[in-house]
Amino acid sequence: MTRPRLALMTLLVALVAGSACSTAGTGSSSRNSSVVSAEELQTVATFSVMDALRRIRPAWLRARSNASPPVVVVDGVRMGSVEVLHTLRADQFVEIRHRTGSDATTLYGTGVAGGVIELTTH
């Protein structure tokens, strides 16, 4: 193979690989570490939200070193501690989002230094 052809082939392979990498994050296998999408919730729809999060985002349920555990908020209303997640079914929600303590404090005020688990219903 001649040098120009080899260079062209190398460029094409690099372009194809680059486009595959850039679209990889848009498919169902991509995971935003701060959001559980409706698509992901479908895989655990029969579970309680607590069991679903234990399977797909267990780190959200752990209290940070000096902070309190996360607070649960459903459609903008504070529901209490993470224990309330045992009573909620995953199929009731289209999205679950985790907010860090600093983001949660900005949005919800004091008392959420451990973060917030926000649930959005259908």
Q: What value does the mean pLDDT of the chain take? A: 79
Query: What is the Cβ-side half-sphere exposure of residue 15, based on CA atoms within 13 angstroms?
Result: 6
Q: What is the pLDDT of residue 21?
A: 37
The DSSP result for 25-73, as a single string, is: TTSTT---TTEE-HHHHHTTTTSBHHHHHHHH-GGGGSPPTTSPPPEEE
Which sequence spans correspond to the domains of the chain?
1-30, 31-121
Q: What is the pLDDT of residue 2?
A: 62
Could you give the 3-state DSSP secondary structure of residue 19?
helix
Q: What is the pLDDT of residue 46?
A: 87
Question: What fold characterizes domain 31-121?
Answer: Ferric Hydroxamate Uptake Protein; Chain A, domain 1 (2.170.130)
pTM: 0.70
Q: What is the pLDDT of residue 16?
A: 40
What does the block give as tokens for 51?
A: 């069991």
Q: How many CB atoms lie within 10 A of CB 70?
A: 26
Longest dimension (CA), the chain: 69
Evaluate the CA torsion angle 98, 102, 107, 113 in order and state its sign.
positive
Q: What is the pLDDT of residue 1?
A: 56
Residue holding tokens 């005020």? 109
Q: Which residues of the chain have pLDDT under 70?
A: 1-31, 65
